[in-house]
Copies of this chain bind each other. A is one copy, B any other.
Amino acid sequence: MSAVNTLVLASGNAGKLNEFNQLLSPLGFDIRPQADFGVQDVEETGLTFVENALLKAREASLVSGFPALADDSGLEVDALHGAPGIYSARYAGEPKSDEKNNQKLLAALSECAEGQRSGRYWCVLVYLRHPEDPVPVIVQRSWEGEILAHPRGTGGFGYDPLFWLPDQGMSVAELPSESKNRLSHRGRALQGLVELLKVAHG
């Protein structure tokens, strides 16, 4: 492969950009945010995480002219038949609010006893070589946990204060970020992507 391959990240999140660059720059990728190319957010009309990630990656690749990377993620709660799922970020409506989403989740589970509050975070990553790439690289990873009845911790974002990790004995919002990057759905999806790109580009 050439010395540096530019890759557009279909996200405006600085934390994600940093995390992706740390893991992918050793492979010769230079990850650039979509804002550098004037890419606008697209409407997420898909019914699956992978379809929404593909919509975002395709727009980023189309506008920028470079290969693109996108993620889509959310929380699946068994007692709620999978909700909030692909609607996790907008569960309590627009404008998106972590606080309102967490309140809505607690209310939805108010009748639900301990031991019946299982769920999992999902992260789906796609890598599109060009806008019409028929075979994107796709990685899907989950992170099992339980939904707390009261928030704990101040780290992370999204539903992290309500997401209890039995193995760790703490919520994700209480977990040190180094551990989170190693254990989380997103961290392990990114590691999976790195393995697949090593094969494809190594």
Contacts and interface: CB of A to CB of B under 8 A. Distances in A.
A24 interface: no
Nearest to A122: B135
Interface size class of A (residues with CB under 8 A): 20 to 34
A49 B134 CA distance: 6
A134 B76 contact: yes
Interface in A110-135: 122, 124, 131-135
Contacts of A133: 48, 82
Contacts of A54: 47-48, 50-51
Nearest to A49: B134
B58 A134 contact: no
Nearest to A124: B135
A136 interface: yes
A193 to B, nearest CB: 14
A76 to B, nearest CB: 7
B76 A135 contact: yes
A82 to B, nearest CB: 6
A131 B81 CA distance: 13
A188 to B, nearest CB: 15
A86 interface: yes
A74 interface: yes
A58 B46 CA distance: 12
B134 A122 contact: yes
A27 interface: no
A85 interface: yes
A71 to B, nearest CB: 13
Contacts of A86: 134
19 contacts: A47-B54, A47-B58, A47-B132, A47-B134, A48-B54, A48-B136, A50-B54, A51-B54, A76-B134, A76-B135, A82-B134, A85-B132, A86-B134, A122-B134, A124-B135, A135-B140, A135-B142, A138-B138, A138-B140
